[in-house]
Amino acid sequence: VHAFVTVTDELALRQAQKADELIATGDANSLTGIPALIKDNMCIRGIRTTCSSKMLENFVPPYDANVVERLNDCGAVIIGKANMDEFAMGSSTENSALFTTCNPWDLSRVPGGSSGGSAAGVAAGEAVYALGSDTGGSIRQPAGFCSVVGLKPTYGRVSRYGLVAFASSLDQIGPLTQDVTDCALVLNAIAGYDSRDSTLVPYPTPDYTRCLSADLGGLHIGVPKEYFVEGMQAEVATAIRTAINKLEELGAGVEWEVSLPHTPCALAVYYIIAPSE
């Protein structure tokens, strides 16, 4: 599927040795020794970071992104850097200046983007989880295309230190995983305060695995009617409604007729903010 820009074999071997030591001393956690893939716009010290651009083809950062530091502290094993749309500007990974990534479910189709390499790598089983970045859908859309879980965390929850910026008021780093439990575990690892990112909120990080209860009593969900846009395929609308019905069965309160009237303006506003930043 051509998900990897760089295979970090030597780094992975060093980290695997550290993971073995953590396991032997009883200091392992849920991510110790687990293979991870990192989108190639996040810095790893001594490993080239290209943003899938010829302009940065030989750039080697001298420091780690905060999310990489946090994964290192967990004993994770980083096996490579993932292909992406150049500088995260695209939604198919066809805009990579290096090569095109394919969708593992059908190699004739795209994996989405800009975190297409991250989504494809997880969907193909080449990594257990991946990190992507999301400015206007760049985690969530390829996750949907590749049938994996993708989450854009709340802005200010995950440090952007060491992320090559696209639009700083919109960018967030988040996980792509095979299931929701893994998503919560990775978010537990990467979320938290970092003084080097002034936009982070200085609040304690919750344990996201506590949100995995099958009892959703007390949770209130609004369904914006404008999100069921003209041209949406019937199968997609049915799948969304089925999922919402399931949440309702689990105890959540659902308000089906919430209105966000400015929704039609969202894309136009995005294309003003993102290029200007």
pLDDT tens digits, 53-111: 999 999 999 999 999 999 999 999 999 999 999 999 999 999 999 999 999 999 999 99
- What integer best gives the mean pLDDT of the chain? 97
* 51, 85: one domain: yes
* 60, 195: one domain: yes
Q: Which of 148, 179, 202 marks a domain boundary? A: 202
* 96, 120: one domain: yes
| Token pair of 156 as six digits | 């200010």
Q: How confident is the model at residue 145 (pLDDT cuts 50, 70, 90)?
A: very high
* 76, 103: one domain: yes
* 69, 125: one domain: yes
Q: Which of 155, 180, 202 marks a domain boundary? A: 202
Q: How confident is the model at residue 46 (pLDDT cuts 50, 70, 90)?
A: very high
pLDDT at 214 over 90: no
* 157, 60: one domain: yes
Q: How confident is the model at residue 44 (pLDDT cuts 50, 70, 90)?
A: very high
Give the model's pLDDT for residue 127: 98
pLDDT at 222 over 90: yes
Q: What is the span of the domain harbouring residue 255?
A: 213-277
* 15, 147: one domain: yes
Show Cβ contacts of residue 185 under 8 Å, excluding neighbours closer than 6 positions: 30, 31, 208, 209
How many C-alpha atoms does 192 have within 13 Å on its Cβ side?
A: 12
* 26, 155: one domain: yes
CA distance 49 to 146: 24
Give the model's pLDDT for residue 13: 98
- Which residues are catalytic, by number? 39, 114, 138
249 in any annotated domain: yes
Q: Which of 170, 202, 234 marks a domain boundary? A: 202
| Token pair of 240 as six digits | 């969304």
43 in any annotated domain: yes
Give the model's pLDDT for residue 213: 85
* 169, 253: one domain: no
Question: What backbone torsions phi and psi does residue 127 show, to the nearest 5 degrees?
Answer: -145, 150
207 in any annotated domain: no
Counting residues of the chain whose pLDDT is more than 70, the rounded percentage is 100
CA distance 213 to 91: 33
208 in any annotated domain: no
Give the model's pLDDT for residue 211: 86
CA distance 260 to 183: 28
Q: How confident is the model at residue 195 (pLDDT cuts 50, 70, 90)?
A: very high
CA distance 81 to 53: 13
Which domain CATH number covers 197? 3.90.1300.10
CA distance 13 to 78: 9
Q: How confident is the model at residue 112 (pLDDT cuts 50, 70, 90)?
A: very high
| Token pair of 163 as six digits | 């992320």
* 112, 142: one domain: yes
The stretch 217-236 carries a mean pLDDT of 94
* 71, 105: one domain: yes
* 85, 188: one domain: yes
Q: Considering its fold, how many domains does the chain have in total? A: 2
CA distance 271 to 204: 33
pTM of the predicted structure, to 2 decimals: 0.95
